[in-house]
Amino acid sequence: MRALVTGGAGFIGSHIIARLLGEGHEVVCLDNFDPYYDPAVKRENIAPFASDMNFTPVEGDIRDSRLLAQVLEDVDYVFHEAAQAGVRISVDDPIKPHEVNATGTLTLLLAARDAGVRKVIYASSSSVYGTVKYLPFDEYHPTLPVSPYGVSKLMAEHYCRAFDDLYDLPTCSLRYFTVYGPRMRPDLAISIFTRHALKNEPITIFGDGEKTRDFTYIDDIVDANIIAMTKGKGVYNIGGGHRVSIQTLAEKIIEITGSASETRYAEAVKGDAEHTFAGTEKAKRELGWAPQTTLEEGLKRYTAWVSTSQS
């Protein structure tokens, strides 16, 4: 089996590649090494794969239709992880997430259709829900995103659905809920809190700390993607199935690290959802997937990885 992983040098993409290569599949990694965060971090993510004969790295953009036609040759499955991430940055610059997440996904779907790809597994986001009507979110909850990022991810979902219906290109959209673990993006709360805690530095919380999130460990995300190659159609929540406040998260990290850090507070950021909480019954029923890693265990694993990588 041959797979294309877009955004393959990023956090989630590189973990999917590791699993695929470990199972003996051929993998093409497409990444443009956007400087949203240090490209050197992304190059380091895929450095361990360089000696694997089944690994082919390609530097380029998902909006380049000619390049996509080349990299999709003989590809069976596409794991579409490439995106302009960041709720907060999307508030300042709504154009880029639209171009990358919506137009980029449309360009990829067209190329995948023309290449005869067997299935596209798309990395969507809990940000598509936005305004809370009830919790936990199920897949029938209204989608009222509160940031341009969320809007762009929802648009891409609709393109996936339309291509499945119109062109018989099977697609599956996995709505990730705040993914964390080794190699996670450095701008995310768990990464920032853990690194500050290990240095006994103050931890800054935006807002009053009462916003809640459902955090999902990276191994569970990868499991869902691998399962989605052969099962599932439409959208699925892929979350940890628990809800914790940002204040409690900071306290857990301080406890796990044995830190002397104190929490501080700053003005809340526009575009941040108030709450996320995944109802995963549909994924369990149709994919046979359920989260396996508790938040406590995941934070311990991540802390151990950060401690080792900083030493």
Catalytic residues: 149
Q: Are 39 and 70 in contact (CB under 8 A)?
A: no
Q: Which two tokens stand for residue 254?
A: 């301080």
Residues for the chain: how many in total? 311
Alpha-carbon distance of 174 to 15, in angstroms, equals: 16
Q: Which two tokens stand for residue 302?
A: 């991540």
Alpha-carbon distance of 216 to 218, in angstroms, equals: 6
